[in-house]
Amino acid sequence: MRNYTPPKKLLKIGESATMKAAEKARELRAKGVNVISLDVGEPDFPTPKPIIEAAYRALNEGLTKYSQSQGLPELREAIADNLRKIFGVDYLPNEIVVTAGAKMGVFYALTALLDEGDEVIIPTPAWPSYFDITKFVGGVPVEVRSGEDFELLPDRIDKAVTEKTRAILLNYPNNPTGMIYDKKVLENVAEIVKRKELWVVSDEIYCRLVYDGEFIPFSKIEEMRDRTITINGFSKTYSMTGWRLGYICGPKNVIKEILKVQQQTATHPPTFIQKAAITALYECESYVRNMVNEFKIRRNLFYDGLRRMGFKIKKPQGAFYIFPNAMDVYSEAENFSEHLLEKVAVSTTPGEGFGKGYEKHFRISYATSREKIEKAILKMEEFLKR
Interface residues toward ligand PMP, by CB under 6 A: 41, 101-103, 127, 171, 175, 203, 205, 233, 235, 241, 246
**Least distance in angstroms from the C-beta of 171 to ligand PMP:** 5
Q: Give the per-residue contact string, 325-364, with ligand GLU (x = CB under 6 A; - = no).
A: ----------------------------------------
Q: Is 39 helix (H, G, I), strand (E, B) or coil?
A: coil
Query: CB-wise, 91 or 354, nearer to ligand GLU?
Result: 354
Query: CB-wise, 237 or 345, nearer to ligand PMP?
Result: 237
State the alpha helices, DSSP H only, in the chain.
8-11, 17-30, 49-60, 73-87, 102-113, 129-136, 154-160, 183-195, 252-263, 271-283, 285-309, 336-344, 370-385
DSSP string, 106-145: HHHHHHHHPPTT-EEEEEES--THHHHHHHHTT-EEEEEE
Nearest to 148 by CA among 172, 125, 169, 166: 125
**Least distance in angstroms from the C-beta of 269 to ligand PMP:** 10
**Least distance in angstroms from the C-beta of 323 to ligand PMP:** 12
Q: Decide: is 19 part of the binding site for ligand GLU (CB under 6 A).
A: yes
DSSP string, 165-228: EEEEEEESS-TTT-----HHHHHHHHHHHHHTT-EEEEE-TTTT-BSSS----GGGSTT-GGGE
**Distance in Å from the first CA to the final CA of the chain:** 48
Q: Decide: is 131 part of the binding site for ligand GLU (CB under 6 A).
A: no
Q: Decide: is 134 part of the binding site for ligand GLU (CB under 6 A).
A: no
**Least distance in angstroms from the C-beta of 17 to ligand GLU:** 8
What gap in Å lies between CA 293 and CA 147, rounded to an integer? 28
**Least distance in angstroms from the C-beta of 342 to ligand PMP:** 26
**Least distance in angstroms from the C-beta of 132 to ligand PMP:** 13
Q: Decide: is 127 part of the binding site for ligand GLU (CB under 6 A).
A: yes
Distance (Å) of CA 182 to CA 127, 179, 185, 215, 218: 20, 10, 6, 8, 10
What gap in Å lies between CA 355 and CA 127, rounded to an integer? 9
**Least distance in angstroms from the C-beta of 122 to ligand PMP:** 11
Among 70, 124, 175, 368, binds ligand GLU (CB under 6 A): 175
40 binds, among ligand PMP, ligand GLU, none (CB under 5 to 8 A by kind): ligand GLU
**Least distance in angstroms from the C-beta of 40 to ligand GLU:** 4
Q: Decide: is 94 part of the binding site for ligand GLU (CB under 6 A).
A: no
Q: How many CA atoms lie within 13 A of 153 on its CB side?
A: 14
Q: Decide: is 16 part of the binding site for ligand GLU (CB under 6 A).
A: yes
Query: CB-wise, 91 or 130, nearer to ligand PMP?
Result: 130
Query: CB-wise, 102 or 277, nearer to ligand GLU?
Result: 102
Q: Is 232 helix (H, G, I), strand (E, B) or coil?
A: strand
What gap in Å lies between CA 205 and CA 260, rounded to an integer? 23
Stretch that binds ligand GLU, among 12-20, 76-84, 166-174, 178-186 (CB under 6 A): 12-20
Q: Which residues bind ligand GLU (CB under 6 A)?
A: 16, 18-19, 40-41, 103, 127, 129, 175
